[in-house]
Amino acid sequence: MSNLNHHYRSDDFSPEQTSGYTLLVQLGENTFSYAVTGQNKLLVLEGEVSYELSEPMDELLSSQFKERIIGVPNNGFTFIPAQLYNSDKAADFSRFLDVKSTDKVFSQPLDNANQVIYKADESIVATIADKFDVKDAVFSGKGWIVAIAGNNPSDLDLYLNIKNEKVEVLNFQDGKLRFYNDFEFQNEDELVYFTSFVVEALQLPPLAVTLILSGDVSLDDLNGSRLAEFFNKVELNSLKTTDLPGQFEPHSLLSLTALQLCGSSEAH
């Protein structure tokens, strides 16, 4: 079972001290998950919460925090080399995304070399504006990417983050971002197909590549075991960006907790 189906509140958490804590929120289409961290520790975790919030959750989420970071699901994105990006031309770059009238476009640095421009559905943006603050919105995959980039990734490591029949796929070369994309899949065979497609496109030797999994996955579930039939090396991501209680598996919370490595975006 995913850690994000769990609820946790540390004895060290104090509602009166939220001004010293960080609120991390990962939005989905119909639900969201959130964590509160402080002094590099996980203090609160709520997973898969309906947008129809209960009153106690509303009270906590509206508290004064040192920082709020809201991971926003995108329905289209593009990376622009940082040296080519000019904020005055953000609208021109956004044309790569086929922006509709119901979309809101955001832009922010992804890392030192790339600017990410992404669009989100207006219903998601309305939720942010109603419950949180649009200025705290960040590209949902940014924290995960930044966390892995800072952990000396090998050229032969292929990172997968699996959540709700969507997989993010990430690879680095010489420590620099080489590939990132996300794919929707219906079953474990489609997951293997997209993973194999990326391996072939990047010309990675299949027998030498290591798949490092995070998200809602385990080595013995349908997705993990099917990937292991096609790749010799499949493991769970043990990277942690904050101290976790022993009952939580780091790979399940990485995408959420890594949001604390992000800054805010600019809306256009």
**Domains of the chain with CATH codes:** 3-72 (3.30.420), 152-238 (3.30.420.260)
User: Would you say residue 214 has pLDDT above 70?
Assistant: yes
Q: What is the pLDDT of residue 128?
A: 85
Q: Tokens 């489609």 correspond to what residue?
A: 190
Q: How confident is the model at residue 1 (pLDDT cuts 50, 70, 90)?
A: very low
Mean pLDDT over 15-29 rounds to: 93
CB 78 within 8 A of CB 85: no
CB–CB of 47/3 below 8 Å? yes
The pLDDT score that the predictor gives to residue 170 is 98
User: Cα–Cα distance between 208 and 26 in angstroms, integer?
Assistant: 33
Least confident stretch, 58-72, 83-97, 202-216, 247-261: 83-97
Look up tokens 């106690």; give the residue: 56
pLDDT cut 90: percent of the chain above it: 73
Distance CA 168, CA 163 (A): 9
Q: Across residues 145-162, what is the average pLDDT?
A: 97
- pLDDT, residue 4, reads 56
As a whole number, mean pLDDT of residues 245-266 equals: 87
> Average pLDDT, whole number, for the chain?
91
Q: pLDDT tens for residues 74-92?
A: 999 999 999 999 888 877 8
Query: Could you tell me which residues are beta bridge partners of residue 179?
Result: 171
Distance CA 97, CA 106 (A): 11
Of 151, 128, 127, the residue nearest 261 (C-alpha): 151
Q: Are 82 and 115 in contact (CB under 8 A)?
A: yes
Per-residue confidence band for 57, with pLDDT thresholds at 50, 70 and 90:
low
Q: Confidence band (pLDDT; 50, 70, 90) for 15?
A: very high
Which residues are 26's β-sheet partners?
33, 71
Most confident of 5-19, 20-34, 150-164: 150-164
223: pLDDT strictly greater than 90? yes
Determine the pLDDT at residue 29. 80
What pLDDT score was predicted for residue 265? 46
Would you state the structure tokens that stand for residue 180, as one six-digit string? 């990132």
Distance CA(44)–CA(52), nearest Å, equals: 19
